[in-house]
Structure 1
Amino acid sequence: MDTGPLDTPRSVAEAFVAAWARRDADGLAALFDEDAEFVNVTGLWWHDRAAIRKAHAYGFEHIFGDSTLRLMEVRVKMLAEEIAVVHARVRLDGQTGTDQTTRPATRHTIFSFVVHRKDDQWSCASAHNTDIVPHMETNLIDADGKFSPVSYRS
């Protein structure tokens, strides 16, 4: 469950990726406050460390067991000496398909972590993961409930 030193805001994003590589739901959850919030790419919303751990343990077992998560870019915005927002562009390869035989294509997402210094280490109070849909500006839902990304520029 070792997350390594969390001595900078950026280290939270780095430790998240490292825990992912180990399929370590406990280590990943340890990056978060006990009452942390986490919103995943589909809008599922977990309200504490235990729920974050449970969701990622399930994901590692059923969806992301062979996946690779890689940091592509990290930007840190200090809001105060003890508080920062960390945006991390990541690349996800190797996700399992729904029929367990197909492999979805590479996904790119942006994580937003709200972190704060706590006892000489940084901890995450909230995270949100958003899929990047190239060349799209928003999503629409049609009368049948079909969800589609769209661009108003094309």
Structure 2
Amino acid sequence: MERRRDAVLTVATPAEFPKAFADAWHSRDGYRIGALFAEDADFVNVTGLWWRDRPAISKAHDYALKSFFVESTLKPGVTRTRDLGSNSAIVHCRFTLSGQKAPDGTIAGDRQTILVFVLHRTPNGWQAVAAQNTDVVPGKETHLNDGGLSAVDYRDT
């Protein structure tokens, strides 16, 4: 059965959002991921692509989950939730991504990311209004564009 593309999903508490996102990821249905987001939500991925509404978030994730993330797993780790008042919260979660398909068809190594979700309480539960995904590059301070973007560290070793 195909999921309705206009479906809306919510979670009971902000702390449940990372698991709901990972569960949607494992369904391989980008529209299920999109259903966790408000109609006018924003999502910035690890390369800076910026999707500006639920249909764009859904379409981009559906493509990725059916191609280079088709056999991937996304495991939530350390999570921090901050209540911003009665109707808003921010959730930071470190995820481990495994099983990404490389352009040559091999399986790439595991990646660590931190996803930040800005949530808003609706009458039916919590939904994301924005998300930002950032790759974790251990031991590095910034990126440098020296003809090719690379992570660098300025500290003395």
The reply to whether TM is greater than 0.5 is yes
Where does structure 1 lack aligned partners over 5 or more consecutive residues? none
Change in Cα spacing, 1:49 to 1:5, as seen in structure 2 (3 Å) is closer
Residue 141 (str. 1) matches residue 149 (str. 2): no
What SS does the aligned partner of 1:62 have? Answer: coil
| Partner Cα distance (1:51, 1:116) in 2 | 19
| Partner Cα distance (1:19, 1:66) in 2 | 14
Change in Cα spacing, 1:127 to 1:5, as seen in structure 2 (3 Å) is closer
What SS does the aligned partner of 1:54 have? Answer: helix
Preserved CA contact (<8 Å) 1:93 1:107? yes
RMSD: 1.5
- Aligned AA (1:75): R
- Aligned AA (1:125): V
Q: Given the alignment, which residue of 57, 62, 74 partners 1:57?
A: 62
Give, in angstroms, the shift of residue 5 of structure 1. 6.0
Preserved CA contact (<8 Å) 1:3 1:15? no
Q: Percent identity?
A: 46
2:30 is matched with: 25
Where does structure 2 lack aligned partners over 5 or more consecutive residues? none
CA deviation profile, 1:72-96 (whole Å, cap 9, x unmatched):
1111011111100000100000000
- Aligned AA (2:80): R
What SS does the aligned partner of 1:43 have? Answer: coil
| Structure 1 consecutive aligned stretches of length 4 or more whose deviation exceeds 4 Å | 1-5
What SS does the aligned partner of 1:80 have? Answer: coil
Q: How does 1:1-154 map to 2 (within 5 A)?
A: 6-100=11-105, 102-142=106-146, 145-153=147-155, 154=157
- Aligned AA (1:87): H
TM-score by length of 2: 0.92
